[in-house]
Amino acid sequence: MSQLNWYTILEASDAPTTAGVYMYMKASTPLYIGKAVNLKARLASHVQNAKLDAREAAYVTGAADIRYAETDTEFKALLLEASLIQKYQPRYNRALKDDKSYLYIVINTSDEFPKPVLARAHDLQRQNNTYKIVNKKYKVFGPFPNSYVAEEVLRTIRRLVPFCQQKSRSKNSRACFYHHLGLCDPCPSTITTAEDKRRYRHQIFQVIHILEGNIDPVIAALTKDMKAASAREDFESALRLRQKIERFTRYIESHSFSRGEHISYNTADLRLNALRTLLSSSISHLESLSRIEAYDASHLGMADATVSMVVATDGLLDRGAYRRFRVKNPRAVSDFDRLEEAMVRRLKNTHWPAPDLIVIDGGTPQLRRLQRVFDQLPSPPRYLGLAKHPDRLILQGPSLKESNWVTIHVPSNNPGLHLLEELRDEAHRFANNYRKVLGRKRSGL
């Protein structure tokens, strides 16, 4: 399993606060296998639950040690957990022990209008520890641990490439509900021409290519369509396609549809190296990216203003290092003011490790405002802005003049950019969640 390192600990408190999988071990035998978005917190919960639950106490107290491996997303931790449970069949794993728990996506290309359907393992034939349908007209993808994961995969692809999921074709020639949402276009119920039928089948084979991992040709074809729409001045369609492509490309970077043993569960080194290469031409002497901090502000009107700080340690989201700031200054009426207050408070804190890089959700205006904070420090941290539509990097140029800001346009499939985008999106989520908590407290709920 590429990019996967296992570590052994004796206490839950020794685990990191990153996503990953863990195994309670007795000799060389796993007693229980689980996944976590925060390994340290999840293992600590097992210790507490063991005081009340005899089943959990059996493997918590019966294990000689704990093994864990970090993954770069919770989604990959889930897939790795499922493959390990299938491989080792741990005694205390009941929910995923039986093969019937696993789901596959199946597409019958011999149908007039093929559509993805979900099938259980017992519906397929087992050969050499893999499941498939002997008929070559069937395409089988998986396994997926449960229906939620399999359906999430299909929902995400469907937002990029529309396809039908009706159990049977309607006879009244009315388009289905999802056609009006752009998720089933063309709808088989309304297809009457050979051209529409060809277009639908072409889209289904694009779905198959994505599930097989052949994503680049699909993205290239859609990019060509986007440019064609722009050339004929259909800018609304061009923008919609661009947003679909960007959203899907970022999703693909952190999710895998391959069989479990071929997944790169931890691409942190790949993303850090790509980011280091990306910044090397603009930021000199960038020796380390061990700790990257990202900031975002959130507010509801003028109330409950907050700023979040999320952290990536060695390229992985480190949830135990997250911090949140409730804005105290009543005169902080803009996001610029709020970010400045939070940055001043953060930089005064000497108990937290110093950041190697600071990422701000925003562009030149935000950076200009924060520059006056950084300029007061004898050794200011490296910092940059991540502007949107399309995502691009804003950095200070070689000159120290305020007007000297450099914009770096990065290909949307760059792993280094994906790491920054993941941090930016996580900071946005964390800030909004805290703002909602403050709102509920203020409302007495």
Structural domains in the chain plus CATH codes: 6-96 (3.40.1440.10), 101-261 (no CATH), 269-442 (3.30.420.340)
Task: List per-residue pLDDT tens for the chain, 445 residues long.
Answer: 445 799 999 999 999 999 999 999 998 999 999 999 899 999 999 999 999 888 889 999 999 999 999 988 777 787 788 778 767 888 887 644 555 556 778 888 888 889 998 887 667 665 444 445 555 678 887 666 677 777 877 887 888 888 888 876 665 567 888 887 878 888 888 888 898 899 899 889 888 887 775 676 787 888 888 888 888 888 888 887 887 777 676 665 545 444 443 456 788 888 899 999 988 877 777 778 999 999 999 887 667 889 999 999 999 999 999 999 998 888 888 889 999 999 999 999 989 999 999 999 999 999 999 998 998 988 888 999 999 878 899 987 654 445 578 899 888 778 899 899 989 989 998 998 888 888 878 776 6
Collapsing DSSP to helix, strand or coil, 290 comes out as coil
CB 211 within 8 A of CB 139: yes
CB 365 within 8 A of CB 385: no
Q: What is the model's pTM?
A: 0.67
What one-character-per-residue DSSP string does 4-44 give?
--EEEESSGGGS-SS-EEEEEEETTEEEEEEEESSHHHHHH
Residues 6+ apart with CB under 8 A from 170: 176, 189
Question: What six digits make up the tokens of 302?
Answer: 């003028």
Buried b (16+ CB within 10 A) or exposed e, 207-246: bbbbbeeebeebbeebeeebeebeeeeeeeebeebbebbb
Collapsing DSSP to helix, strand or coil, 307 comes out as strand
CB 265 within 8 A of CB 72: yes
Query: Which residue is it, tokens 């703002």?
Result: 435
